[in-house]
Amino acid sequence: MSDVREMAEDIGRLKKEKNAIIMAHYYVADEIQDIADFVGDSFFLAKKATETDADIIVLCGVRFMGESAKVLNPTKKVLIPDMAADCPMAHMATTDRIDEVREKYDDVAVVCYVNSTADLKAASDVCVTSANALKIVSRLPQRHIYFIPDQNLAHYIADQLPEKEFIFNDGFCHVHNSISLDALRKTRALKPDAPVLVHPECKPEVVAEADYVGSTSGIIKYATESSAKEFIVATELGVMHELKKRNPDKVFYPAGPMQICPNMKKLTMEKLLHVLKEEDSEITLPEKLMREAKTPMEEMLRLAK
């Protein structure tokens, strides 16, 4: 414990010396969330990254989050504590398929969930996160929507926008996709009064059971404002830290087993301290790619307003 405290002090000192800012996603380890300047969902982190005057952004999240921060702030140094912390779903689409779809439909928007590589973002028209996808897709003039890479989030949005014709891609988040309806129903049978809070990366049949569907921030806000005292949570368990912090009198149950993202959990205090000291794990992207990926990211920020 004292090690963690010492590391936190060293991190705080280095952060000041270097005019660095630490941003963390709700899925990273509790102790990293505790020392971060900002903790939030993917949308909040992307937006905050455009508002900082720090020289260095240390993004405690998976690689695509660091890339998003870099694309939005090409002149800043963006570090992530572990380059190997990569989201498999970020690679589950191809630019070849995007080209094919563009060729087939003239009235199509390529909508890219931010959980994607910079290459995929660059080939898309607009980015979205789970917090703003519905709003943004509903504002697009095109009738056809090619939504990459997450099929589950795509189905969740498509169901609410019957006027749009979706072309689905077969990507998925292995953490959310593995939350089964069977496990959720067993938990619900034990806690019948607890509202079920579901992230839209879950399978449609799990989403259909939800009392609330939303991003990690949305889930936290809903639980905090609700008068219920117990909740069933279908997302990565890192979110429990903020849920419990804001709601010490409420109880949160995981919907099923294994709601842990192994890549988010690669980030440790040791690695965070190391990267702040050595600055040796920096996100770098070719200039042209950054320019091309920036347009759909900025379009997201504009349409989300």
Q: Which of 7, 23, 39, 42 binds ligand 13P (CB under 6 A)?
A: 42
With contact defined as beta carbons under 8 Å apart, do 255 and 183 qualify? Answer: yes
Residues in 182-211 that interact with ligand SF4 by CB under 6 A: none
Please state whether beta strands 230-234 and 108-113 pair in parallel, antiparallel, or not at all (unpaired).
unpaired
Structure-block tokens of residue 82: 């572990």
Closer residue to ligand SF4 in complex, CB, 87/118: 87
41 binds, options ligand 13P, ligand SF4, none, Cβ within 5 to 8 A by partner type: ligand 13P
Residues in 237-276 that interact with ligand SF4 by CB under 6 A: 261, 263-264
131 binds ligand SF4 (CB under 6 A): no
The phi, psi pair for 234, rounded to 5°, reads -110, 75
Structure-block tokens of residue 23: 């941003």
User: CA angle, corner 171, sides to 131 and 237, nearest 5?
Assistant: 55
67 binds, options ligand SF4, ligand 13P, none, Cβ within 5 to 8 A by partner type: none
Letters for 103-132 (x = contact with ligand 13P by CB under 6 A, - = none) are: ------------x-------------xx--
236 binds ligand SF4 (CB under 6 A): yes
Kindly list the residues in this chain that would bind ligand SF4 in the complex (CB under 6 A): 27, 62, 87-89, 115, 173-176, 236, 261, 263-264
Kindly list the residues in this chain that would bind ligand 13P in the complex (CB under 6 A): 27, 41-42, 87, 115, 129-130, 173, 201, 215-216
